[in-house]
Amino acid sequence: MRIAILSGGTGWHVQDVLRAASELGHVAAVVDFRSLAAGVEAEPQPLAGFDAALVRTVPAGSLEQVIFRMDVLHAAAARGLRVVNPPRAVETCVDKYLTNVRLANAGLPTPPTHVAQRADDAFEAFGQLGGDVVIKPVFGAEGRGMQRITDRELAWRTFRVLEHTSQLIYQQRFVAHPGYDYRVFVMGGRVWAAMRRIGTEWRTNVAQGGRTERAELSDAAVSLALHAAEVVGCDIAGVDLLPGPNGELYVIEVNAVPGWKALAATCGLDVAKEVVRFVAEGG
């Protein structure tokens, strides 16, 4: 099988997929999102010659460029190419607000969240959220750009800066947690592995210095992770579950392009091979 690895570079995960595909007897090739071109009743036909496509990373770009890249995936899927994850799932999960909406509408627990364009609206919501919030970029990963704010003056200054730089103001009520969360790797309606990420501060992301250990999940946690992946339409997902002060679990994020470097090492699983098998065998 010929598998396209859609990416914005050739980093560790891309190399891991190339290695796994070769060992399993498949032909994989890296296709840079930024090189895509398409014709309508004309050439070229994007991703022609491939049997399946794996979305590995989505590089930054202008609004037009990002929309076009997703349009190409939609067009490829419409003509029968297996695209993992489906473009609609990628579009949902790259947007924290839309993910929150889908989760909440499905009745899944997610922290109270407010998104505003104006500092005045955000400042009013800051009080309504309890005066202890986490500011996040709507599009972002690995804990980058996150800030916990408990001071009203700092909140006001931060909101004003975000408004003046034409950024959305995304704030989420801080959940008092025990210093760790869970990253759950879901694929094909099954939990394959899970790890506990233990932070050195309130953030638990491995990219921010957190350490990991293998985790055994409760039936409730497994069910919650599977439901979260299903709600956003992901065949493959990294679901982040955060324990609250009373042991309740919140879905913090669903990642449609999850990393697995730490997970593979922590859980002793060749994740790349399982991903390639899933893509090649159709789930």
Break the chain into its structural domains and give their ranges: 2-92, 113-173, 177-281
Is omega for the bond preceding 245 within 30 degrees of 0, making it cis?
A: no
Q: How confident is the model at residue 199 (pLDDT cuts 50, 70, 90)?
A: confident
Confidence of residue 119 (pLDDT cuts 50, 70, 90): very high
Say what the pLDDT of residue 248 is: 95
Residue 63 clears pLDDT 70, i.e. is over it? yes
Of residues 60 and 157, more confidently modeled = 157
- Which of the two residues, 267 and 142, has the higher pLDDT score? 267
Q: How far apart, in whole angstroms, are the C-alpha atoms of residue 47 and residue 55?
A: 12
What is residue 201's predicted lDDT score, i.e. its pLDDT?
78
* Torsion sign across C-alpha atoms 273, 279, 282, 283: positive
**Mean pLDDT, range 191-217, rounded to an integer:** 85
Q: Is the pLDDT of residue 56 over 90?
A: yes
From the CA atom positions of the chain, what is the Rg in Å? 20
- Burial class of residue 32, CB neighbours in 10 A (0-12, 13-18, 19+): middle
Question: Are 4 and 29 in contact, with CB atoms under 8 Å apart?
Answer: yes
pLDDT band at 140 (very low <50, low <70, confident <90, very high): low
CATH number of 177-281: 3.30.470.20
**Euclidean distance between CA atoms 52 and 130, whole angstroms:** 47
Is the pLDDT assigned to residue 282 strictly greater than 80? no
> Is it the case that residue 141 has pLDDT exceeding 80?
no
The whole-number pLDDT of residue 60 equals: 87
Which homologous superfamily does the CATH classification assign to the domain defined by 113-173? ATP-grasp fold, A domain (3.30.1490.20)
User: Which tokens sit at 178?
Assistant: 């025990």
pLDDT, residue 225, reads 98
pLDDT at 202: 75
For residue 61, CA distances in Å to 1, 64, 93, 139 come to 30, 8, 17, 12
Average pLDDT for 166-177:
94
Supply the pLDDT for residue 27. 97
Average pLDDT over residues 32-61: 93
Model pLDDT for residues 225-268, shown as the tens digit of each residue:
999 999 999 999 999 999 999 989 999 999 999 999 999 999 99
Would the pLDDT of 143 be above 60?
Answer: no
For the chain, what is the mean pLDDT?
Answer: 94
160 φ, ψ (degrees, to nearest 5) = -65, -40
Tell me the percentage of the chain whose pLDDT exceeds 70. 96
H-type alpha helices, the chain = 12-23, 63-78, 87-93, 96-105, 119-128, 152-164, 219-232, 261-267, 271-281
Angle at 64 between CA 59 and CA 67, to 5 degrees: 65
Q: What angle do CA 112, 117, 122 make, to 5 degrees?
A: 45
Cis bond leading into 85, ω under 30°? yes
Domain 2-92 matching CATH 3.40.50.20: the answer reads: yes
